[in-house]
Amino acid sequence: MTLILDPDDPTGWREAPGAADRERADEARGARHAASDRLTAGLNPQQREAVEYRGPALLIVAGAGSGKTRVLTHRIASLIDGREAWPSQILAITFTNKAAAEMRERVEALLGEAAGGMWISTFHSACVRILRREAEAIGLSSTFTIYDSADQRTILKRIIKELDADTLGFTPASAQAKISKLKNELSDVESYARNVNTSDPNDVMFLEIFRQYTRRLRDASALDFDDLISETVYLFRAFPKVAALYQRRFRHILVDEYQDTNHAQYALIRELTRPVEPDVVAELDAHGVLVRGLTDASGAIPGASLTVVGDSDQSIYAFRGADIRNIVEFERDFPGAKVVLLEQNYRSTQNILSAANAVISNNFDRKDKKLWTADGDGDKITGYTGYSAHDEAQFVADEIEALHRAGVAYRDIAVFYRTNAQTRALEEIFVRSALPYRVVGGTKFYERAEIKDAMAYLIAVANPLDELALRRILNTPKRGIGPATETSIASFAEQNDLSFRQAMRAADGLGLGPKITKAILDLATLLDAAAAMLVPSQKGIDEGTNEGASKVSDVLAFLIEGSKLVETLRTSRDPQDETRAENVEELVAQTKDFDRENPGASLVDFLTQVSLVAAADELDDASGTVSLMTLHTAKGLEYHAVFLTGIEEGLLPHQMSASEPGGPAEERRLFYVGITRARKRLYLSLAMSRAQFGEVSVAMPSRYLQEIPDELIDWKQSPGMANSRGGNQPRALNARRGFGGGAGGGGAWGTRDRDLERFSVTKSAAPKTEWANRVTGTVRDNGDLTLEAGDRIRHTDFGEGTVRQVTGEGTKRIAHVAFDSAGQKKLLIKIAPIEKL
Ligand SMILES: Nc1ncnc2c1ncn2[C@@H]1O[C@H](COP(=O)(O)OP(=O)(O)OP(=O)(O)O)[C@@H](O)[C@H]1O
Ligand SMILES: [Mg+2]
């Protein structure tokens, strides 16, 4: 019997299964037969093989919906159930925190017990945990801040301005992308500097930007998202003993969505799966880290077993450095790796799979594999071409209502799009139709300015070195501290080798006016007082816990009170400030939830959690809402019914990638990912015209639509189009007409002009629709229009009808209307284009 140190378990030592355990487990195998049967019951032979295989490396490659994630889950459960590993010896990497939570739940359901100590997380979360523990080794404070994309751009904007780099064409976004790319390739400032082309002024300037950026993050004790991975790799490479602790601990590493790992993530996996050499084992042993029972005959601890699952057809993150070669070269990097192929699809109907197969087979450079199911053809795919984005959205809303009436829960329906901008039309129509929906990862709560302000107060308290956070709150709410004062604080800090925060405390010596000086000192005092609230009691310090420290919600409330953040918003004359105040209060409510759900957790824990909330984490399956999300966010998920919207040239493939090498192939994989999310019903829609960047332009059907065999799609037509044409042309024809022989083909252009004409007719024929509102900038507000059951109303689009019922209150009142010819609709009274008759 061996004891190992479990870093998750503050009480220290846990038993690790040794040879004796395994023997005992073998003896007990008969008794446990029932259990292991349960773990493999319902799996097909290949899936079972993947669950039961034991060896150093296992690669499972398979198409969408073939049970890859399911196999991972069963494999973890089987390792634990067979006493081959403690939960704490398992590290499973998933793509989102939400997927991680789901996997944990499933493993626990399979085992029938909680599997504490198991690490199931994203690459980023796992790295944050490691870095917070080991920060000091690489000269970071363990309370380091995690900068998001917006923070990065703020810093880069300052640097670019200071260096006049915009004259060379640098923008915060371009510099950010380049830095990110380098970091994903594990290239840092020094390695870039070694290879820089000194005769190219652009390269030299970029080097300077990169250098400054790196220095500022260092000074602020901050890491960006890419750093989380690369710094962990550096940590492991520079400190083999630190690495050895994790190599020793994690005996089984499993990675889902392996096709989307980038080079840095791949390097991390390599580091974690290295064996611990006998001399390091001996040193660990000498330091009291128990290693007995883990070593082999040579005295080394063998590398962890690695299982990766992936589908190269679903690789959609090349722009973030994901490297399909990671899959292709797996066998080379892990010689003797077992490869299991899964073929049968358990998610979708054959019609959906046939469409997916047809589309993806147009990509070269892939192993041909065809998805198939034993479940039958199912319904045909529904296609729809709207005359505008709003018309398309109306189609989506109507179909969702029809599905709902047929018994499909809202939460089992999803609408996907390529770009976030596409949500506008969808949301407008959904709100108007009173359809419950949720935008996953759109303008996120935590990206709102007022939330970032409140968060900056917390960050400044947790990490006093964070200059970005301090500068953000320096004059928020307004305290009369202008940019000139901000600059004097910054240069005072620079000259005297102080942090910005220290310079604030020394504001007396800056020669500023008494009022401004007091304002700065008051803020510094407020932050210091809040920091004092975070110190645990002596008992907590002794025991290494957070006992005695104030709760996050109390610290936030204290800061809000002291800074008058909410009070200022409440008394402002800007009507939107009221909403902002409510948002900040929502944040307070969230910290309360956090405190309740995570007793003993610290402020840094809260900040970490917020930083790591990936888009897909906002999904809430329990809620009865339709999910709206980008195609990228949809990965790994499945829904009864899926709407793929905006299947147009310029959107899919996106214009940015259409001309890039490999771009159209990657966009095709994105389309494939979208199609394969659907279980039973798939809808493909597009619009003939779309407003983008404030301009309405004619849209062309996506080239990928053409790749789906005609007989799989049932094209419906757009009522708006039919009216304006005075005819009932099948939608398929209209859509198909857009396909010229190739890009810019004469036929295609001819079609465009005619469609544009028709489109103008439609537009002027329906001046009262939301379209006209958009164009003229009027926003409808029915204010306090009173309606009750029995009232007759007229709607601009649906004609006349009778109110059946009014539900909800205030601005959320909804009229349930039976229209004379348009059927039943639910309308949000405040904004619906209706009048009472
Ligand atoms: N042997 C099986 N019997 C019944 N259902 C199964 C089986 N294997 C997988 N499934 C179901 O099929 C669906 C797809 O499985 P899963 O999500 O694991 O596929 P995947 O290969 O990970 O897909 P993706 O590539 O989209 O991530 C799930 O609902 C899963 O529960
Ligand atoms: Mg999966």
Average pLDDT for residues 327-339, to the nearest whole number? Answer: 81
Tell me what pLDDT residue 620 has: 53
The answer, yes or no, to whether residue 752 has pLDDT greater than 50, is: no
Domain with residue 177: its CATH number is: 1.10.10
668 lines ligand 1 (CB under 6 A): no
Average pLDDT for residues 466-475, to the nearest whole number? Answer: 95
**Of 169, 204, 220, which marks where a domain is finished?**
220
Please check whether residue 458 lies inside any domain of the structure: yes
Pocket probe mutation, ligand 1, options 70, 353, 621, max atoms within 8 Å of Cβ: 70
Structure tokens given for 784: 């306090």
What CA–CA distance (Å, rounded) separates 682 from 704? 15
Tell me how far the alpha carbon of residue 488 lies from the centroid of ligand 1, in angstroms. Answer: 60
> For residue 617, what are the CA distances in angstroms to 108, 200, 357, 468, 631?
20, 43, 29, 26, 15
What CA–CA distance (Å, rounded) separates 197 from 321? 23
67 is in an annotated binding site: yes
Do 606 and 623 fall within a single domain? no
Tell me what pLDDT residue 781 has: 60
Do 607 and 745 fall within a single domain? no
Do 124 and 256 fall within a single domain? yes
313 lines ligand 1 (CB under 6 A): no
Tell me what pLDDT residue 5 has: 46
**Of 587, 612, 637, which marks where a domain is finished?**
612
More confident residue, 15 or 412: 412
Tell me how far the alpha carbon of residue 310 lies from the centroid of ligand 2, in angstroms. Answer: 8
68 is in an annotated binding site: yes
**CB of 624 closer than 8 Å to CB of 410:** yes
Do 9 and 131 fall within a single domain? yes
CA dihedral (209, 212, 215, 216) positive or negative? negative
| Ligand lying closest to the C-alpha of residue 64 | 1
Name the residue with the closest Cα to ligand 1, atom 12: 346
Q: 2: pLDDT confidence band, cut at 50, 70 and 90?
A: very low
344 lines ligand 1 (CB under 6 A): no
Distance of CA 618 to the CA centre of its chain: 9
The answer, yes or no, to whether residue 105 has pLDDT greater than 50, is: yes
| Ligand lying closest to the C-alpha of residue 674 | 1
Name the residue with the closest Cα to ligand 1, atom 16: 67
pTM over 0.90: no
Tell me how far the alpha carbon of residue 68 lies from the centroid of ligand 2, in angstroms. Answer: 5
Tell me what pLDDT residue 476 has: 93
Do 44 and 80 fall within a single domain? yes
The answer, yes or no, to whether residue 778 has pLDDT greater than 70, is: no
Q: 664: pLDDT confidence band, cut at 50, 70 and 90?
A: confident
Tell me what pLDDT residue 138 has: 87
So which residues are the catalytic ones?
68-69, 256-257, 314, 677
The answer, yes or no, to whether residue 264 has pLDDT greater than 90, is: yes
Do 237 and 173 fall within a single domain? no
Domains: count for the chain: 5
| Ligand lying closest to the C-alpha of residue 371 | 1
First to last CA, the chain: 83
Tell me what pLDDT residue 107 has: 93
Tell me what pLDDT residue 717 has: 63
**Of 313, 342, 371, which marks where a domain is finished?**
342
44 lines ligand 1 (CB under 6 A): yes
Name the residue with the closest Cα to ligand 1, atom 11: 346
More confident residue, 323 or 678: 678
Name the residue with the closest Cα to ligand 1, atom 15: 67
Do 440 and 450 fall within a single domain? no
The answer, yes or no, to whether residue 473 has pLDDT greater than 90, is: yes
Please check whether residue 628 lies inside any domain of the structure: yes
Tell me how far the alpha carbon of residue 416 lies from the centroid of ligand 1, in angstroms. Answer: 20
**CB of 667 closer than 8 Å to CB of 657:** yes
Name the residue with the closest Cα to ligand 1, atom 8: 67
Tell me what pLDDT residue 366 has: 76
Do 439 and 303 fall within a single domain? no
669 lines ligand 1 (CB under 6 A): no
Please check whether residue 796 lies inside any domain of the structure: yes
Tell me how far the alpha carbon of residue 636 lies from the centroid of ligand 1, in angstroms. Answer: 10
- Name the residue type at position 126: A
What CA–CA distance (Å, rounded) separates 61 from 309? 6
Name the residue with the closest Cα to ligand 1, atom 1: 43
77-81, 205-209, 540-544: the lowest-pLDDT one: 540-544
Q: What percent of the chain has pLDDT over 90?
A: 52
65 lines ligand 1 (CB under 6 A): yes
The answer, yes or no, to whether residue 21 has pLDDT greater than 80, is: no
Average pLDDT for residues 635-649, to the nearest whole number? Answer: 94
> For residue 754, what are the CA distances in angstroms to 705, 728, 744?
21, 17, 16
Residue pLDDT, tens place only, 523-567 = 999 999 999 999 988 888 888 888 889 999 999 999 999 999 999
Do 409 and 318 fall within a single domain? no
Ligand 1 atom closest to Cα of 345?
12
Tell me what pLDDT residue 422 has: 87
Name the residue with the closest Cα to ligand 1, atom 4: 346
Do 30 and 127 fall within a single domain? yes
Place of tokens 């690669």: 59
CA dihedral (774, 776, 779, 783) positive or negative? negative
More confident residue, 590 or 523: 523
Please check whether residue 423 lies inside any domain of the structure: yes
The answer, yes or no, to whether residue 320 has pLDDT greater than 90, is: no
Mean model confidence pLDDT for the chain: 83
Pocket probe mutation, ligand 1, options 48, 61, 69, max atoms within 8 Å of Cβ: 69
Please check whether residue 474 lies inside any domain of the structure: yes
Strand partners, 60: 309, 340
Residue pLDDT, tens place only, 692-714 = 666 677 888 999 999 999 999 99
Tell me how far the alpha carbon of residue 71 lies from the centroid of ligand 1, in angstroms. Answer: 8
Tell me what pLDDT residue 617 has: 54
Pocket probe mutation, ligand 1, options 59, 66, 105, max atoms within 8 Å of Cβ: 66
Domain with residue 48: its CATH number is: 3.40.50.300
Do 317 and 361 fall within a single domain? no
More confident residue, 439 or 620: 439
62 is in an annotated binding site: yes
Average pLDDT for residues 23-39, to the nearest whole number? Answer: 57
Ligand 1 atom closest to Cα of 677?
26
φ, ψ (nearest 5 deg) of residue 301:
-95, 115
Do 440 and 475 fall within a single domain? no
Domain with 515, as residue range(s), is 446-612
- Name the residue type at position 127: C
65 is in an annotated binding site: yes
Please check whether residue 140 lies inside any domain of the structure: no
Q: What percent of the chain has pLDDT over 70?
A: 84
Q: 489: pLDDT confidence band, cut at 50, 70 and 90?
A: very high
Tell me what pLDDT residue 324 has: 64
592 is in an annotated binding site: no
**CB of 440 closer than 8 Å to CB of 616:** yes
Burial per residue of 776-812, b for 16 or more beta-carbon CB atoms within 10 angstroms, e otherwise = eeeeeebeebebeeebebebbbbeebebeebeeeeee
Q: 432: pLDDT confidence band, cut at 50, 70 and 90?
A: confident
The answer, yes or no, to whether residue 510 has pLDDT greater than 80, is: yes
Please check whether residue 84 lies inside any domain of the structure: yes
What CA–CA distance (Å, rounded) separates 585 from 577? 12
66 is in an annotated binding site: yes
**CB of 170 closer than 8 Å to CB of 209:** yes
Ligand 1 atom closest to Cα of 257?
27
Tell me how far the alpha carbon of residue 280 lies from the centroid of ligand 2, in angstroms. Answer: 37
Please check whether residue 395 lies inside any domain of the structure: yes
Domain with residue 466: its CATH number is: 1.10.486.10
